[in-house]
Chain A
Amino acid sequence: MTAARKKIMVVNRKPPHGSIYALESLEIVLIASAFGQDVSVVFLDDGVFQLAKSQNTRGLETKNFSSTYRALEDYEVKTLLVEQESLSVRGLTAADLLLPVEIVSAAELAIRMTQQDMILSS
């Protein structure tokens, strides 16, 4: 049986190491993509910190999963969206992020959301 390919948006709003949300969300992205779904990934509010360069979790003795975001392209996840307003509020720019992304306004993001079959957020 072949399931229909759906447009799935995964929205990240939590920072990376204080809770399990960011890592679990990344797992969802990888699994959904492995099953052939059309996945886009959004980072907004404190979720933009998930893409901060130079993350080093050695002192926490936890997994540094930040390098996995760079592998998303190999998993056919081509759409990575970061909200401009969220970056600005946090004093960040594209240069602070660990990979190239599409930076969009809240208004543009609102439009992209309406085009999805399913939205998962954390």
Chain B
Amino acid sequence: MLHTVNKSPLERNVFESCLRHADATAVIVLIEDGVYGAMKGTAFSPRLEQALQTVRIYALAPDIEARGIRDKIADGVTLLDYGGFVDLVTQHAPVMAWL
């Protein structure tokens, strides 16, 4: 299945809750303020590194570019454009949108 997360993990626990329910077959897409969860060097980064060992994590490039954090994205996070996002959604039903 596919999970989307649209909140910063530094403000809300949504990404953490998502990770608790994502098994090895899941894919996670970070969108909107959720892309802050893809950064290296934050208080959340160790949790991200741990998660990347077991689950595939993507982040939406336009949201990253808009926030000026392209240089700070952790290795192992795959960037997506909108078309790639749509492809993932069609390949990984059902979708859980963590809000």
**Chain A residues in contact with chain B, CB under 8 A?**
11, 13, 44-45, 85, 106-107, 109-111, 113-114, 116-119, 121-122
Cα A118 to Cα B1 with chains together (Å): 11
Report chain A residues within 8 Å CB of B14: 13
User: Assuming the A-B contacts A11-B96, A119-B94, A121-B99, are A114 and B17 also in contact, with contact meaning beta carbons closer than 8 angstroms in the complex?
Assistant: no
Question: Does B74 sit at the interface, judged by CB under 8 A?
Answer: no
Query: Total A-B pairs in contact (CB under 8 Å)?
Result: 41
Report chain B residues within 8 Å CB of A106: 20-21
Cα A110 to Cα B3 with chains together (Å): 11
Q: Is the beta-carbon distance between A110 and B22 smaller than 8 angstroms?
A: yes
Picked from A45, A109, A119, the residue with its CB within 8 Å of the CB of B13 is A45
Report chain B residues within 8 Å CB of A44: 17
Cα A113 to Cα B98 with chains together (Å): 13
Residue of B nearest to A105 (CB): B20
Report chain B residues within 8 Å CB of A11: 96
Question: Does B10 sit at the interface, judged by CB under 8 A?
Answer: no
Cα A122 to Cα B96 with chains together (Å): 10
Report chain A residues within 8 Å CB of B97: 119, 121
Q: Is the beta-carbon distance between B17 and A118 smaller than 8 angstroms?
A: no
Q: Is the beta-carbon distance between B96 and A111 smaller than 8 angstroms?
A: no
Q: Is the beta-carbon distance between A117 and B94 smaller than 8 angstroms?
A: yes
**Closest Cβ of chain B: how far from A117's Cβ, in Å?**
6
Q: Is the beta-carbon distance between A110 and B99 smaller than 8 angstroms?
A: no
Q: Is the beta-carbon distance between B1 and A113 smaller than 8 angstroms?
A: yes
Residue of B nearest to A46 (CB): B13
Cα A39 to Cα B61 with chains together (Å): 35
